[in-house]
Amino acid sequence: MPRVLAVRPDVTLLEGRRACKLISSEGSRAAEPSPKERTSPTMRDSDVRRARAAAMRVAASLHLPAEDTVLLHNSNKLTLRLMPLGVVARVAPATDQVASLEVELAERLTASGCPVASPYPLVPPRPFEGDGFVVTFWTYYEPAAPSDVFSTDYAHALARLHEGMRLLDLSVPHFTDRVKEARQLLRSRERTPALPEADRMLLEDTLRRLTRAIRGRGAAEQLLHGEPHSGNVLITAEGPRFIDFETCCRGPVEFDVAHAPNEVGRLYPGINQDLVQECRILVLAMITTWRWDRCDQLPDGRRAATAWLGELRALLHERQTDSADGPDRVR
């Protein structure tokens, strides 16, 4: 699978954590990638062997006649295709607290007709524990080539996803909780020793002001995917399907749209484009902050962070210029 993801408009970047996550195989990802906010270590070889064995044992206990596994991706979670079945197993340490929420959310969204990757229908929709791991089972989707109107399909699929999520009431973090984590990182010089003080102040000020500006608009809030960038979109014969709900949160839909490519944002129906732009700046400030964490594992992450700081300054200058002849949008 392509090992690229993205969050910020018009940036392509190799991503070190989960470039090819669950459900599908080579070539099935959305064409335009985007950077993930944070990175996680991969499983050690010994843990990979144990995780694969755990997936096979759990599959056998559920009468799934798997003969072998194909590794799709190794991160803090292992993604395996069970051969020769149309099943994907996602294997995480038993301490993982997200698997239940992901399966429940995907099951409820599937039932309401939302464009998501579905839990595998021939086993109970829940996590299964074994040998220190938690295993979830998902439908495998054959990859398809993107259509000539993929951005339109992507925008409409995201809108349908939001329609379904609007009806759900789940206890999840607010998008501002993610901002608070970034601000806490900036305040820890021990965790960000290489970050120049002027840049630290810029990031802190941007996170503070943009959060206040976004909240000040009073936009309606709902359950969100959290990171519906193109790395979390599968291209299937039925159209785009969203995966990976582990960062779902609550906030305005514009926060979700800000993670998608610019063209998708322009095609998304009925949203506040000024608010989308503010959310894009906020997301850029957050992902730039994560890159300065001394534990960050993104390849060339520090170089990307330096480039993003320059782009952040340019975007902020553009906002100030735009507001010179009108209301101040970023207070």
Strand partners, 57: none
H or E element that contains 5? strand 4-5
Q: How many CB atoms lie within 10 A of CB 270?
A: 6
Whole-angstrom distance, CA of residue 285 vs CA of residue 110? 33
Token pair 């960000």 in the structure block, residue: 192
The answer as to CATH 3.90.1200.10 being correct for domain 150-323 is yes
pLDDT per residue of the chain (331 residues) written in tens, 0 to 9: 322 223 333 333 323 333 333 344 433 544 443 455 655 567 788 889 999 999 999 999 999 999 999 998 887 789 899 999 999 999 999 887 789 999 999 999 999 999 999 999 999 999 999 899 999 999 999 889 888 889 999 999 999 999 999 999 899 999 999 999 999 999 999 999 999 999 999 999 999 999 999 999 999 999 999 999 998 999 999 999 999 998 999 999 999 999 999 999 999 999 999 999 999 999 999 999 999 999 887 888 899 999 999 999 999 999 887 766 555 444 4
Q: How far apart are CA 325 and CA 212, in angstroms?
A: 21
Query: Cα–Cα distance between 98 and 92 in angstroms, integer?
Result: 10
**Residues 239 and 149 sit within 8 Å (Cβ to Cβ):** no
Global pTM reads 0.84
Q: In the chain, where does the domain assigned CATH 3.90.1200.10 lie?
A: 150-323
Separation CA 263–CA 54 (nearest Å): 42
Tokens of 327: 């209301």
CA distance 246 to 287: 17
Which long-range contacts (C-beta less than 8 Å, at least 24 apart) are formed by 13-16? 13/298, 13/304, 14/299, 14/300, 15/39, 15/231, 15/298, 16/297, 16/298, 16/299, 16/301
The span from the CA of 159 to the CA of 93, in Å, is 33
Q: How many residues does the chain have?
A: 331
Element housing 160 (H / E): helix 150-166
Exposure string over 177-212, b if 16+ CB within 10 A, otherwise e: ebbebbbebbeeeeebeebeeebbebbbebbebbbe
Tell me, rounded to whole angstroms, the distance of Cα 315 from its chain centroid: 23
Task: Using only the alpha carbons of the chain, give its radius of gyration.
Answer: 20
Residue 32 CA to residue 224 CA, distance in Å, equals 21
Query: What is residue 199's predicted lDDT score, i.e. its pLDDT?
Result: 98
Contact in structure between 331 and 212 (CB atoms under 8 Å): yes
